[in-house]
């Protein structure tokens, strides 16, 4: 755990997010040092291996957060294959190194609001005859990728017939292409420009995924995670994050305000839905029905309580605090819509026979439901941060884009976007929203 704790969410009003003067807090930040432009290890004397410090977008974000909160940082280097083991062993408090949001990490810890988009791409020699990503999925095609990270998972799923060559050192991935040890390498939209500048004569195919980058905390670090989330939302609003993206991620399409309340909330909803196929498989294995009326009532009450608690923790110094808490009716409508969307994904999963060689799903009670609870806490926090008014057409389009991968019907997506608009409406306007159907299901 952290070396010293200064102040947490329960006393935000007293401390104003700042560390206590006589108990300076030290936050241990896990970072890889090998992933441009997110985290780069700076070495003084290369022969001696003298570490000077860490550069890149995420160390810069960490330092800005520390300066605002009045605490100290201690960077701890990790290797990608050991990221989740190191997190479980409490080697650091938060991982900040271009961490991609994905389900195994959601199960292991808790993510912050997202800070950047990315997408997987392939780099190959300019004179390669390959013209489409799918052409690489052939027996004998040698593809190099960083071992243990998100991109290895992407490469294994996308190129199951190819000869994948994971590299334990991310710096050796592009050199394997230069040296002829690989015919292509998998990287992403942020890292690729750095590799292409270092090794001229390469071209890119893709992107073929749409991913989010966020910061990963241990499962028990609720208060620290919410402190960073609050700072990220403020920094998105005042332009701090935009300036850091310009300095470190200066590429087309990376300057969208992803850490604003609405896109951050949709990201959390997307993360929650991504766990639903696992929920469905766990229910298939145990014979548990999708319908669970008694649990629905319990979860809905807990959701209402989480929103009220998030509102109580919100500092009164915020200029828009007078907007107040969304009406209970609009909160209920939103969570019902979210539950119904989760059911749709579960049923679609169960409509397909389970694979013979599929791994056992995570335990529903011990793993999946705690992860969903952690995501739900972030959702409750973000509901309170929504602006006072939302444009219906804009919200509908953004919702469709954010949740596109889950195969939800147009009607279900409209229910979700309408519920989001109702949440942001003034309480007087929200009282006219009819109650949703009385039966609700939840995982």
pLDDT in tens, 5-50: 444 333 333 343 344 344 458 999 999 999 999 999 987 655 555 5
The pLDDT score that the predictor gives to residue 51 is 57
Collect the ranges in the chain with pLDDT lower than 70. 1-24, 44-51, 251-255, 315-324, 357, 426-443
What is this structure's pTM?
0.88
How do the domains of the chain map onto residue ranges? 9-116+212-248, 120-205, 261-430
Identify each DSSP E strand in 313-414 by its residue range. Answer: none
With b for 16 or more beta-carbon neighbours within 10 A and e for fewer, the 186-215 pattern comes to bbbbbbbbebbeeeeebeebbbebebbbbb
Exposed, middle or buried by CB within 10 Å (0-12, 13-18, 19+), for 3? middle
- CATH (residue range 9-116+212-248): 3.40.190.10
Q: Which residues are bridge partners to 34 per DSSP?
A: 40
User: With contact defined as beta carbons under 8 Å apart, do 185 and 173 qualify?
Assistant: yes
Peptide bond connecting 238 to the previous residue in cis, omega within 30 degrees of 0 = no
Q: How far apart are CA 331 and CA 431, in angstroms?
A: 11
Q: Which helix (H) or strand (E) holds 153?
A: helix 150-158
User: Alpha-carbon distance 21 to 349, whole Å?
Assistant: 53
Q: Which of 85, 69, 86 is nearest to 15 (CA)?
A: 69
Q: Which CATH architecture has domain 120-205?
A: 3-Layer(aba) Sandwich (3.40)
Structure tokens at 204: 């890119």
Same fold, 9-116+212-248 and 120-205: yes
- Decide if 113 contacts 47 (C-beta within 8 A): no
* C-alpha distances in Å from residue 85, one per residue of 4, 92, 251: 23, 11, 33
Report pLDDT digits (tens) over 399-411: 999 999 999 999 9
**The architecture CATH gives domain 261-430:** Up-down Bundle (1.20)
Residues 241 and 235: their CA atoms lie apart, in Å, by 6
Token code pair at residue 258: 């992803």
């Amino acid at each position: 755990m952290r070396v010293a704790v200064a102040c947490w969410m329960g006393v935000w009003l007293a401390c104003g997010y700042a560390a206590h003067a006589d108990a300076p807090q030290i936050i241990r930040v896990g970072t890889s040092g090998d992933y441009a432009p997110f985290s780069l290890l700076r070495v003084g004397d290369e022969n001696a291996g003298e570490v000077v410090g860490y550069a890149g977008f995420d160390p810069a974000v960490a330092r800005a957060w520390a300066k605002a909160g009045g605490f100290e940082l201690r960077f701890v280097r990790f290797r990608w294959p050991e990221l989740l083991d190191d997190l479980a062993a409490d080697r650091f408090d938060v991982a900040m190194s271009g961490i991609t949001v994905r389900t195994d990490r959601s199960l292991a810890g808790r993510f912050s609001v997202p800070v950047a988009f990315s997408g997987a791409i392939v780099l190959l020699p300019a004179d390669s005859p390959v013209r489409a990503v799918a052409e690489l999925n052939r027996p004998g095609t040698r593809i190099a990728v960083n071992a243990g990270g998100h991109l290895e998972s992407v490469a294994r799923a996308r190129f199951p017939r190819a000869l994948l060559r994971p590299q334990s050192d991310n710096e050796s991935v592009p050199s394997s292409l230069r040296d002829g040890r690989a015919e292509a390498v998998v990287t992403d939209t942020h890292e690729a420009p750095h590799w292409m500048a270092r090794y001229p004569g390469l071209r890119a195919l893709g992107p073929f995924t749409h991913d989010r980058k966020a910061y990963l905390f241990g499962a028990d670090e609720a208060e620290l995670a919410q402190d960073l989330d609050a700072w990220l939302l403020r920094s998105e609003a005042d332009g701090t994050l935009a300036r850091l993206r310009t300095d470190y991620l200066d590429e087309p399409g990376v300057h969208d305000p992803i850490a604003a309340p609405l896109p951050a909330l949709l990201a959390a909803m997307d993360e929650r839905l991504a766990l639903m196929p696992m929920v469905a498989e766990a229910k298939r294995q145990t014979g548990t029905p999708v319908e669970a009326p008694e649990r629905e009532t319990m979860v809905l009450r807990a959701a209402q309580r989480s929103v009220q608690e998030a509102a109580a923790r919100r500092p009164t110094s915020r200029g828009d605090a007078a907007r107040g808490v969304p009406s209970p009716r609009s909160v209920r409508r939103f969570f019902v819509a979210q539950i119904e969307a989760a059911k749709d994904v579960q049923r679609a999963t169960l409509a397909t026979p389970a694979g013979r060689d599929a791994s056992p799903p995570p335990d529903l009670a011990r793993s999946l439901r705690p992860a969903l609870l952690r995501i739900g806490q972030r959702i409750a926090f973000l509901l309170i941060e929504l602006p006072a008014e939302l444009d219906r057409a804009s919200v509908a389009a953004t919702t469709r884009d954010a949740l596109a991968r889950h195969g939800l019907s147009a009607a279900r997506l409209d229910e979700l976007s309408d519920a989001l608009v109702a949440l942001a409406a003034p309480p007087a306007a929200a009282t006219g929203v009819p109650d949703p159907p009385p039966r609700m299901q939840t995982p």
